[in-house]
Structure 1
Amino acid sequence: MAACERTPLTTLPAPHARHRSARLVARQVSELLLGRSRRGLALVPQERLTGLVFEVVLGGSIAHHPYRDIGSGRWIGVEDASTLGRPVSATAIALSMQLPHTTVRRRAAELVESGLLVRGNGGFSVAPAFFARGVLARMAAEDAADLARALHGLAAADYTLAATALDSGVTALPPGVVERLLLAFSLRALETLTDLYGDVTAGTIVAAITASNVRGVTENPELAARYAEEDMPPPDALREPISLRALSRAIDLPFETVRRRVKTLMEQGTVISKGDGVIVPVQLLFGERHLENNRRIAMHFEQLLQTLMALTQIGSSAD
């Protein structure tokens, strides 16, 4: 396999500019991740943590390949894991998700039993029968469309890098290639949430609550721009509460798990009651750890856009 040629990458925004847009990006990213999570049920109907193990194997199995073969000009998308993928060890999965090795092996064993993974000497691979179902191509197309919508929303809120990415033609890239990048990005974003809240389940719950609370702000370009900066998060008065049952459905976790974990988060002061549901209060979001989490997510997102723009240059030169 020929290596992908190196293309000059667009310069990332300066740190102070990233700080000004961190909340704006984090809100759009939360919606993007929630959409991917819901669609992930088409890939893996098991409990969400098991689905994450599957996604790590899927993405990791093809991560060593370039996005385009210089020799043939052929794009290499996530669907090519069916022929080009290599096994991913349980240790690598555990490190990626910051989970105990025994938990990963148990979840992977569930996937093997259900016919979604196969176990070999080198680790776990996606079962060949999975690729024949056609769900991966549909998910890739829907995820690419969601990214395009997020970029248009960010551009409308004066996030310059999103407008630059749209102008460069990133929405014309093959969905399977975009999905490879989105898969890697979503796992990195989950890692930052895990660092902040202690485990992937707590991180997913808090991210989903926050996204739901400010959805009205996210979908309003004027409000999104007004509350984009670090020192201007949307006030609690604008945060719409989400019920625990709606939260359970949104992130595909059992209601009792959500109820128990939210109770703990409330005892910690991370979540508070409002009306018939819960919100993440604005006071919490002023903490330096939360600000740094937003900055990390914004940085990862900017790197995603940087890579996408570089791939449009590769595509133009090859064509």
Structure 2
Amino acid sequence: MDIKILNSLIFPLSLAGISNLPHSHIGLIADEFLNQHYDPDKRAAKDEILTRNKTLETYRLVIRLLTEIQLSYAVALSRLFDRDYLAASAFVALLAETERMFPHSLLPGSRQVGRPITIRAMARSFHRPYETMRRALHRLSQLELVDLRDDGVVLRGGVVDRPEVRKLLIEMHDITITLLEDIFVFAKISRPISVKENYSEDLVFLASLDLHLLSVEGMQGIFSDWTGLMLVSAISAGNIRGVTYDDELAFAYAAVDQVPPMSLRKPVYFKVLCETLPICPTTAWRRIIAMKIFGSVTSSEGGLIIDSKWFQNATLIANGCKRIARMHSIINKMVSSGVSLSNIEKLYINGKVDRLVL
């Protein structure tokens, strides 16, 4: 089967290689990787510079768009799970695992429950204590979304036909299509062409679930809890949204090694964060105080700004590289399975999803 997948999303410089280099500045990371992996005798200096700059541009733009979309997933899930982010993510993981093992399990009429997964295995997967994981799964059981059996947890039969679950899947589907359309429009990445068109909405459902789980993976090694993850993501997204979605500014501040200047960053107000995100205000405020003490967040004009040094944090850069590499894999699998993106605007079920208020 001959399929042209998202080759344009696979950076000229390997993100996996970049993320393993011991530098805190993304420009130095790209330069070092370029020196190690490109033979100057075989590639003109001009081509090397273009390759390096293209990598930096793509990295910054795509990670900004991915962060925006992952926040949208979190807010969509909060409507069903009332801020219990661990329970929500556990449910997403069970849905995704069932679809992978039994294709079309996410389509209406499916009674598939998937294979049982033990609480201990779930706890290891989410890097959470056993008892914390047990309480989250018990919450799902109370909501009649899963069954807790002696051999592990499984989906409740027919759960995908529940109105609230169908609404969630459709919203996540349209959030994913919004991400892809924004990547093609704002990051100016060419659309892949597939010779196999076998669209089924469950293929996009699965990609959506997996893209949400990327945010869970993104927490490891950086954030101690979900609240910290969402706060930093929301503040950074809100700060530079005017750059991310501007045709000229997006590339003007992606092609250089500096983050957008303070004059172009918009403060995000704590009240707005609490109104938009599935977070407890008291817990969120404690996290903000801690972030200020550690210097990752500062105050400006009554709002919150991510400190410039945060964007050049080595762990954050490596994490972002790995998230984008995983995103490539998820999207490419969806395309190779038959989802054509040549007319992406026709894939929406309810329509393009509005950006969160930040």
Alignment TM class, shorter chain as reference: 0.7 to 0.9
* Separation in 2, partners of 1:148, 1:42: 20
Match of 1:252 among 278, 288, 302: 278
Counterpart residue number, 1:131: 160
Maintained 8 Å contact 1:85/1:125: yes
Comparing 113-122 with 43-52, greater Cα deviation is found at 43-52
Does residue 224 in structure 1 map to residue 250 in structure 2? yes
How far is the alpha carbon of 1:20 from its aligned partner? Answer: 3.3
Matches of 1:204 and 1:229 in 2, distance apart?
Answer: 27
The residue aligned with 1:13 is 11
Match of 1:99 in 2: 128
- Superposition deviation, residue 95 in structure 1: 2.3
Separation (CA, whole Å) in 2 of partners of 1:46 and 1:60? 23
Identity of aligned residues (%): 21
1:212–1:10 distance in 2 versus 1, CA, 3 Å? closer
Instruction: Name the SS of the counterpart of 1:124 in structure 2.
Output: strand
1:141 aligns with 2:170: yes
1:25 is displaced (CA, Å) by: 0.8
Out of 52, 56, 63, the position equivalent to 2:100 is 63
Contact 2:75 2:278 in 1 (8 A): yes
Q: What is the TM-score with the length of structure 1 in the denominator?
A: 0.82
Q: Residues 212-291 of structure 1 correspond to what in structure 2 (within 5 A)?
A: 212-229=238-255, 231-291=257-317
Partner residue, 1:54 = 91
Shift of 1:310: 0.9
User: Which segments of 5 or more consecutive residues in structure 2 lack a partner in the other structure?
Assistant: 15-51, 341-358
Distance 1:79 1:124 in 2: 21
Distance in 2, Cα, partners of 1:195 & 1:264: 17
CA separation in 2, counterparts of 1:10 and 1:86? 32
Do structure 1's residue 122 and structure 2's residue 151 form an aligned pair? yes
CA-atom RMSD, angstroms?
Answer: 3.0
Structure with the bigger percentage of helix: 1
Structure 1 residue runs of 5 or longer lacking an equivalent are 68-74, 315-319
* Mapped pair 1:179 → 2:208: no
Q: Report what 1:110 is aligned to.
A: 139
From the superposition, tell whether residues 148 and 186 of structure 1 become closer, same or farther in structure 2 (CA, over 3 Å). Answer: same
TM superposition score normalised by structure 2: 0.74
* TM-superposed deviation, 1:183: 1.0
C-alpha distance after superposition, 1:21-62 (max 9, x if no partner): 112111111111111111113432352233222222322333
Going from structure 1 to structure 2, the CA distance change for 1:23 and 1:116 (only over 3 Å counts) comes to: same
Between stretches 214-223 and 135-144, larger displacement belongs to 135-144
Q: Which residue does 1:39 correspond to in 2?
A: 76
Whether the 8 Å contact between 1:189 and 1:300 is mirrored in structure 2 is no
Task: Provide, for residues 64-88 of structure 1, a one-character-per-residue CA deviation record: whole Å limited to 9, x for no partner.
Answer: 34x5xxxxxxx55466774152222
Indicate conservation of the 8 Å contact 2:227/2:284, yes or no: no
Amino acid at match of 1:222: E
Query: In 1, Cα distance between the equivalents of 2:222 and 2:83?
Result: 25
For these two proteins, the number of residue pairs brought into alignment is 300
Q: Shift in Å at residue 130 of structure 1?
A: 3.6
Distance verdict in 2 for CA 1:280–1:129, change over 3 Å: same
1:310 equivalenced with 2:310 (yes/no): no
Alpha-carbon contact 2:197-2:338 (below 8 Å) kept: no
Secondary structure at the aligned position of 2:101 is classed as coil
Q: Is the 8 A contact 2:112 2:158 kept in 1?
A: no
Decide whether aligned partners of structure 1 residues 129 and 278 sit closer, same or farther in structure 2, where only a CA change above 3 A counts. Answer: same
Instruction: Give secondary structure in 2 for the equivalent of 1:118.
Output: strand
CA contact under 8 A between 1:243 and 1:276: conserved in structure 2? Answer: yes
Aligned counterpart for 2:112 among listed residues 73, 80, 83: 83
Q: What is the rounded CA distance, in whole Å, between the counterparts of 2:203 and 2:105 in structure 1?
A: 6
SS of equivalent residue, structure 1 residue 29: helix
Q: Displacement of 1:168 after TM fit? A: 4.2
Deviation at 1:276, TM superposition (A): 1.9
Structure with the greater alpha carbon radius of gyration: 2
Aligned 8 A contact 2:113 2:154 in 1: no
